[in-house]
Structure 1
Amino acid sequence: MIFFSRTVKGQAREDNRDALGALFDGVRGVFVIADGTSRPGSGDLARTLTNHLINDYQNRLAQGFSDSSRESVALLLRGLMQDAHASLYSNGFEGSASYLVAVVVAGFLAVAYEGDCCAGVVMSGGTVSWLTAPHCLANWRRDRSHRQLATDSGRHHISRCFKARKQPDPEIVTRAMGKGEKLVLATDGFWADLSDMVQARLLEADWTAAPEVDDDASWIVVQMPA
């Protein structure tokens, strides 16, 4: 398994409120992407949440928790989010964030998410087949493509996210991962603000040019072994 990640600060903000985290221990890959909202403290929250989830996942495995099946991973991820919520907000963090946690292990992918961070599989030609539907006002019927949502201002109104007054309730998506498949995890600054052509270029590890974006854009690319 090979992976790389990139983040680009948007021109509309003074700071980058996206956060990325990844680990591969020889058996599994654990990947986290978070996008802080405009609320004060959200950038710090996104970064701390990302680090917390990566570290806590490793700690739970060391304690004997299993991730050998889709059901056990889903249970583990829900527990991670509950503990992160209790820990971070009891320690004075403010703000809110969209988040997505992806685990690739034992030939399958499990994703837990709330908000508009998305996971997809890269098809031939570099186009992305998105696996997750954003939680936003523009997609309340959950029947619109990412390209349709990209032009709707309602996509900026997030309907679910990591926030103080609501316990996490992540949507879980699972699928088998085939040999040689390429996975992408991205914030809305990537999937909504960049054209399909620019996305395809940025999904290549040797493409180093940074796109010009208003919103922060971040993405993780995971290449499965052939």
Structure 2
Amino acid sequence: MIHSTRSLKGRARDENRDGVGARFDGVRGLFVVVDGTSRPGSGQLAQALVDQILILYCEKVAAGHSDNRHEEAAALLKEVLNDVHNRLFSTAITGSASYLVGVAAAGLLTIAYEGDCCAGVVFSNSPISWFTSPHCLANWKRDRDHRQLAADPGRHRISRCFKARNKPDPEIVTRTIIEGEKLVFATDGFWADLSDVTQAQLLEAEMLDPLRVDDDVSWIVVQIPA
């Protein structure tokens, strides 16, 4: 399982409020993308959320927790997110963020997410096929594709996210991993603000130079070996 992570600061902000991280232990891949909101402290929250998810998930697996079935992985993700919530918001951390966590293990992919970070798959030379649906005002009926949502200003009003007042309540999405396919995990700056052509170029290259974007842009590419 080969993966790469990238995060670029947008021109509209003084700091990059995205967080991105990944680990592969030879058995499972753990992939996290987080998009901090405009609330104060959200940039610090985004990176802390990535770091803590990676640490706690790996600790629980090392302690004997299984993620070999979708149900087990989903339960473990929910437990980790609750523990991280308690840990972070009992400190001086503030803000809010969208997040998406993907676990690839035993030929299965299990995703937990709240907000507008998304996961997709690339088939041959086609555009990315996104298989998670953003939690936002523009998508309240849950019936619009990502290109339609990208053109609607209502997509910026997130309906679910990681914040102090609410315990995590992630939507769970599962699928089988297919040998040879390419997975993508990304913030909305990637799937909504970049064209299909630019997205495809970024999946194949280290950097487009120059890439000028207003919003922060972060993504993870995962190649499943054939």
> Whole-Å Cα distance in 2 between the matches of residues 64 and 196 of structure 1?
41
> Whole-Å Cα distance in 1 between the matches of residues 195 and 62 of structure 2?
42
> Whole-Å Cα distance in 1 between the matches of residues 147 and 94 of structure 2?
32
> Whole-Å Cα distance in 2 between the matches of residues 201 and 184 of structure 1?
13
Shift of 1:125: 1.3
Shift of 1:91: 1.0
Paired amino acid for 1:57: Y
After superposition, residues 112-191 of structure 1 pair within 5 angstroms as: 112-191=112-191
Alignment match, 2:22? 22
> Whole-Å Cα distance in 1 between the matches of residues 206 and 46 of structure 2?
27
Paired amino acid for 1:22: A
TM-score by length of 1: 0.98
Shift of 1:205: 3.8
Percent of residue pairs bearing the same amino acid type: 62
> Whole-Å Cα distance in 1 between the matches of residues 213 and 206 of structure 2?
20
> Whole-Å Cα distance in 2 between the matches of residues 8 and 225 of structure 1?
27
Structure 1: runs of 5 or more not aligned: none
Paired amino acid for 1:11: R
Alignment match, 2:3? 3
Shift of 1:209: 3.0
Alignment match, 1:85? 85
Q: CA, structure 1 residues 111+130, in 2 after alignment: closer, same or farther (shift >3 Å)?
A: same
Alignment match, 2:104? 104
Paired amino acid for 2:73: V
Q: Deviations over 1:111-164 (max 9, x none)?
A: 000000000001221411101000000000000000000010000000000001
> Whole-Å Cα distance in 1 between the matches of residues 161 and 188 of structure 2?
14
> Whole-Å Cα distance in 1 between the matches of residues 210 and 77 of structure 2?
32
Give the match's secondary structure for 1:71. helix
4+ residue runs of structure 1 moved beyond 2 angstroms? 205-210
> Whole-Å Cα distance in 2 between the matches of residues 210 and 194 of structure 1?
13
Alignment match, 1:217? 217
Contact map agreement 2:100 2:111 (CA 8 A) in 1 = yes
> Whole-Å Cα distance in 1 between the matches of residues 9 and 104 of structure 2?
27
> Whole-Å Cα distance in 2 between the matches of residues 219 and 210 of structure 1?
17
Give the match's secondary structure for 2:35. strand
TM-score by length of 2: 0.98
Paired amino acid for 1:113: Y
> Whole-Å Cα distance in 2 between the matches of residues 125 and 108 of structure 1?
23
> Whole-Å Cα distance in 2 between the matches of residues 83 and 129 of structure 1?
32
Q: Deviations over 1:164-211 (max 9, x none)?
A: 101100000000011001000000000000000100100114555352
Contact map agreement 1:112 1:173 (CA 8 A) in 2 = yes
Q: CA, structure 1 residues 25+210, in 2 after alignment: closer, same or farther (shift >3 Å)?
A: farther
> Whole-Å Cα distance in 2 between the matches of residues 21 and 225 of structure 1?
20
Contact map agreement 1:4 1:205 (CA 8 A) in 2 = no
Q: CA, structure 1 residues 8+210, in 2 after alignment: closer, same or farther (shift >3 Å)?
A: farther
Contact map agreement 2:137 2:157 (CA 8 A) in 1 = yes
> Whole-Å Cα distance in 1 between the matches of residues 186 and 58 of structure 2?
23
> Whole-Å Cα distance in 1 between the matches of residues 126 and 23 of structure 2?
24
The reply to whether residue 199 of structure 1 matches residue 191 of structure 2 is no
> Whole-Å Cα distance in 2 between the matches of residues 58 and 224 of structure 1?
21
